[in-house]
Structure 1
Amino acid sequence: MDIANLYTLFLKSDGISTDTRKITPNCLFFALKGDNFNGNAYAAEALKQGALAAIIDESKHHNTTETILVSDSLKTLQDLANYHRKQLGTKIISLTGSNGKTTTKELIKSVLETTYKTTATQGNLNNHIGVPLTLLSIQPETEFAVVEMGANHLKEIEFLCSIAEPDYGYITNFGKAHLEGFGSLEGVVKGKSELYNFLKKHSKTIFYNADDEKQSHILRDYSRKYSYSLTNNKSDITLTPLKNAENAALVYLNNKIHSHLTGSYNLPNIAAAITIGSILNITPENIKKGIETYIPSNNRSQILKANSNTIILDAYNANPTSITAALDNLKSMNTENTVVILGDMFELGLESLKEHQHIVDYTKQLDLKNLITLGHNFYQTNSTHPKFTEYTALKEHINSIKIENSTILIKGSRGMQMERLLELF
């Protein structure tokens, strides 16, 4: 079956599923394969549960009229997503970066939906499977779709752009994330910049942070761009950080905009959403409403009160750049009692031990004395701080010292599940 005919079937369906545990009636089931699973083996079960058809790529499972045999189920999913994208009048805003992608995506969505019919990537479905699923979820009446793109190797963003064909793009920053795959910070810059390369090649619109020297340099000869700045007036949108605010806040056109996000490191994320909203003709009142109604979730920059303690829970993910920013923010709060509880950072490759040691040393430099760590990488660092390789031992230690009347930063890579610590407070 060619893509045009498959698309006709897609329009008759009620969406896409790649997991038999989440089959919905009249959906199209795509049998994908991974290191530990083969969706082809579950095609019959998907049909039994009510799927309209199952797209498979192994002939031995092609035993009913409801199975559609293709050469590669994943590529077919990607091709179908691109075909759907081409039929839509929806404008696609794509974003990538080392830190803050998901928070920025949610802020942009919150601002845009005050004025336009808007959709966005669910959670962090931002890879070679997630981006096609996001595109295929876009309805014909949708005016804007905010599509997050993640990558840990070169050429991945380039490939995702070929599927999504974005009209607008934004890179949050270039940081020390996924060094194992990118090889170096220079590799990160090259990989993330594949989004800008696509947009420049197709004369599309770019939003960027004029305070970021690398981005300003990359875009120096490109004209279809809009910038913001938090430090000067040499940009299209000038924003002023609001000092002494409880949460991250900015002044935009004399409007004080208070977010529910903690930390100065979230100011660029807010600024990007304000800039995109402004350029897309959203009123200042609606921009303010969009920022101020967004409530962070999923362990991202959440401020929680727990008895006598204030907890900054930023445990969705971590890398050297984001942990350094979180530590700087904690120090700037000038609270009397602070506790830093950090989990290991992943995907740092040969730089792992050096980067974990740097974080430990940085806490000393900032005079953040109460550091506790979890994970084998931090355990190998040269320090006398309490460090544990197992959660149970960490839990016993925290229970024994009875932390009270403190501001507690909890951060670590997703696999460390640092949000488990909330039960202790």
Structure 2
Amino acid sequence: MGSTVTTTEPEKTSPASSRPGYGQLLRTRGAWTFLLPGFAARQPFAMLTISIVLLVQHTTGSYGAAGAAAAATGVSMALFAPYSGRLADRYGQRAVLIPGVLVHTAAGLSLTALALAHAPLWALFLAAVPTGASVPQVGPMVRARWGVKLQGSPLMTTAAAFESVTDELTFVFGPLLATALCTAVTPAAGLVTEGALTLVGGLLFAARKSTQPSVAAKGHARVVHASALRVPGVRVLIATFLGIGSVFGGMQVSLAAYTESIGEPGMNGVLYGVFAAGNMLSGIVCGAIAWKAAPHKRLLIGYTALAVAASALWTAHSVVLLAALGLLVGMCIAPSLITGYTLVDGLVPAGARTEAFTWLTGAVALGQAAAVTVAGQLEDRLWDGAGFLVPMGGTVLALVTLAVLRSRLVPSPQNRTVARGVGHRAPVTVD
């Protein structure tokens, strides 16, 4: 079967359009055709972990077991996401997405059935692995489509901010929806709904072939597909995003445990929604500003604020204080996410950017998986709210790594080379 090469004209901007603006971004031709289905297909990242935690905790009575099952999903997603991104760069998004959403839906329903049947934990792990491995990487795919549409445009920073806001919008509605379904309908409703949204949104997104990045024809056998992981700056960003994942995972488990301990489980979704709303609001503001400071400097400043705010979570002993601190932590996450994704455009060749984005998304998932495991154990063994120590530890460790290795986030002058070994670099031909 021959390869189909799709070409997309990059959007041209006039001098008058150099000022970032969401209105101008959303008027980009063809943007809504992939944005709307992409929003629905992003729901796994927002709903999956909390749905698994609530379902497994309900059937086993243990947050430790629930965290472990959710962690198995997160780890498998983190390990397979970059491979999925590389395949999408090489063979096209549609070729990867269609089988992915079908496998994910089937695996998620199997996990649901096993949990309701009170299957042993090892059986839940067997179902959790393919569920996580097949999570569609729609967010990175949308970012890659923006990169094609806006190549060379000053709106790229606005697009990165818009994507972060979109991600956070799913984190506002996703946990609220999952919690409401699991507590008011049935504990299995969250996973079932997540699977349905993934299937419908993913297939509609895959159908938009005209907006996907082009892929190399078979005759281009000499094209080099270098891994984005070879770029030193990408490895620094991975460590940074691991810390962000620890905030998401630690908050999900700890908020669920805290609201359960005070007899108000329904407040879990509300508190997590406040946290995500802070993230979304700061993302909107961040994307509307024409920044003059270098991105790597902004990342260090923003991440310092995040580590400080996350370190205060464990001290909260009331719903009001916890909501206020959660809002503050959320407001500190978006600038770090936006700046990190923006740095990819300067560090990574175009032909490897989908993979780079999936490495960062996978890092968040891996950090979240580790966090839900550790936080679940702390909640079971120590006091209610002990899981909030996890976001503090994760962000502080990541901040130290970022501070020491921040020079690797400065793009090289050529901006198109990827490290191929110790002591030398080789140019990479991109599609």
State the TM bucket, normalised to the shorter chain.
under 0.3
More helix by share: 2
Structure with larger RCO (C-alpha < 8 A, sep 6+): 2
Please report the TM-score for the alignment, with normalisation by the length of structure 2. 0.26
Please report the TM-score for the alignment, with normalisation by the length of structure 1. 0.26
Higher-Rg member (1/2): 1
